Amino acid sequence: MKKDKKNKKKNKQNIFLYRLVRFLAWFVAIFAFRRKFIRNEIKGKKGPFVIIANHEAALDFVNLIGATRTPLSFVISNSFYNTLPFKSVVSRLGMIPKQQFQTSLRDLGAMRSTIREGKILVIYPAGLMCEDGQSTPIPAATYEFLKWLNTDVYVAKTIGTYFSMPKWAKGIRVGRTFIDIYKLFDKDALREMPLEEVKEKTSEALDFDAYLEQEKLKIKYRKNDNIEGLENVLYVCPNCMGEFTMRTKKKKTIYCVQCGFEETSDKYAFLHNKKGVGKEVRHVSAWSRMIYESLKEKVEEGKIKKLTTMARVQTIDPKKHKYRNAGRARITLTPDTLSIKGNINGEDIDLAMPTSAFPSLPFKPGRNFEIQHGDISYRCFPQKPLVVMKWVNLVKIYYEIKTAEKAQEAEAKVK
């Protein structure tokens, strides 16, 4: 009991520190993201309520934190939290660390306590920022969780931050961004609402395609035509369907070394086929969907039954608050399990986890992906870095298939 009181006191939100961070975030929001509100229905509003937000870029929170003077309690990645050298400072900001795609009783208790204390809870249901300008999967348990919180639900929809900070690129590309904040569910209505309707309305509110939005807005972002790194996301040629054949050159061009397909980016981040090899794919999001659907078709036809890779593995050093080399392991992915077997931190491990538990994997295109098991995050660097996106796509596909199967089983039981 004394330990719980001590931790609660340690994690109590420091208003002065929070206001300082909010001011710094406001500065970035105004001068880097050039934020503009479409609606702001939380301005001056007190809690309790929860805000759900889409996730286009790493710094999406800076556009939201200044929307109201009332302090916000953000749910953040536990691995990110554990790699911060100033964890105690972050705790004083009222942030709640949580393992991505896994929710413990402790995490649930912390989030519900935030609501019961009359505060404002902020979550990013997808858990990951997008890599291709379109929404990432939302864990199925999210919709039950929203009902369980028993509070009003607001949406904070961000537009444009994907182009300001593409996951596959470096730095910030200054340009106009927008944020639209409005009430999605009244708690009394939410309590009586069928789960399927909650899912439908939540998905509709959070779903986005940054490139379709850009067609309407036509916003210029600094160095928006620089597509270096995009080959790590668009790893399949849309013309010859060759895997890992895409490269970039002269910052603005992506091309296939196998068939000569080539496209060049413009100032709005749209792609153009100027050589006439193959059909033009104007949007990165459309190209990425084509890769995903093609891979899913192969899975459904039974052409892909297992994926394996040897990888260098890192884990978090709790003393130095950063990832460090921990060993090597063989990573295996099948339709049913994601497993890791090797010698990590001097111990032999052999873990197998159901694919139904992973909507996606935290990752950096062309570099690494993370497998989370309990409180441990295994950061895996495959021998061939270009395969990272294929692994992530397959994990998403298996989760989609497993979720659909569960839904069918549930429907059959009702009938």
Q: Which domains does the chain have, with CATH numbers?
A: 2-217 (3.40.1130), 230-300 (no CATH), 307-404 (2.30.29.30)
Take residue 258 and report the two structure tokens written for it: 């196998």
Q: Note the pLDDT of residue 242.
A: 97
Q: What is the pLDDT along the chain (415 residues), one digit of tens a residue?
A: 344 444 444 457 788 888 898 999 999 999 999 999 999 999 989 989 999 999 999 899 999 998 999 999 999 887 777 777 666 677 788 888 887 766 677 888 889 999 999 999 999 998 889 999 999 888 888 999 999 999 999 999 999 999 999 999 999 999 999 999 999 999 999 999 999 999 999 999 999 999 999 999 999 999 999 999 999 999 999 999 999 999 999 999 999 999 999 999 999 999 999 889 999 999 999 999 999 999 999 999 999 999 999 999 999 998 888 999 999 999 999 999 999 999 999 999 999 999 998 899 999 999 999 999 888 999 999 999 999 999 999 999 999 999 888 878 777 776 6
Instruction: Tell me the CA distances in angstroms from 123 to 72, 127, 146, one per residue in order.
Output: 10, 8, 10
Query: What is the greatest pairwise CA distance in the chain?
Result: 71
Nearest to 395 by CA among 348, 349, 362, 346: 362
Q: Note the pLDDT of residue 415.
A: 61
Q: Note the pLDDT of residue 11.
A: 52
Nearest to 323 by CA among 75, 77, 80, 59: 80
List the alpha helices (DSSP H) in 11-150.
Answer: 15-31, 61-65, 78-82, 87-92, 105-116, 141-149
User: What value, to the nearest 5°, has the Cα angle with vertex 76 and ends 291 and 118?
Assistant: 130
Query: Is residue 245 within 8 Å of residue 258, measured between CB atoms?
Result: yes
CA atoms lying within 13 Å on the CB side of residue 126: 23
Query: Is residue 399 within 8 Å of residue 391, measured between CB atoms?
Result: no
Sole residue written with tokens 């300008």: 133
By DSSP bridging, strand 347-354 and strand 337-344 are antiparallel
* d(C-alpha 410, C-alpha 197), whole Å: 16
SS3 133: coil
* d(C-alpha 118, C-alpha 92), whole Å: 17
Write the single-letter amino acid at 219: I
Q: Note the pLDDT of residue 287.
A: 98
Cis amide linkage into residue 48, ω under 30° from 0: yes
DSSP notation for 348-392: EEEEEEEGGG-S---EETTTEEEEEETTEEEEEEESSGGGHHHHH
Q: Note the pLDDT of residue 414.
A: 67
SS3 75: strand
CA atoms lying within 13 Å on the CB side of residue 129: 22
Phi, psi of 339 (to 5 degrees): -130, 155
Q: How many helices (H) and strands (E) does the chain have?
A: 13, 18
* d(C-alpha 297, C-alpha 80), whole Å: 34
Nearest to 137 by CA among 289, 369, 353, 360: 360
* d(C-alpha 287, C-alpha 401), whole Å: 21
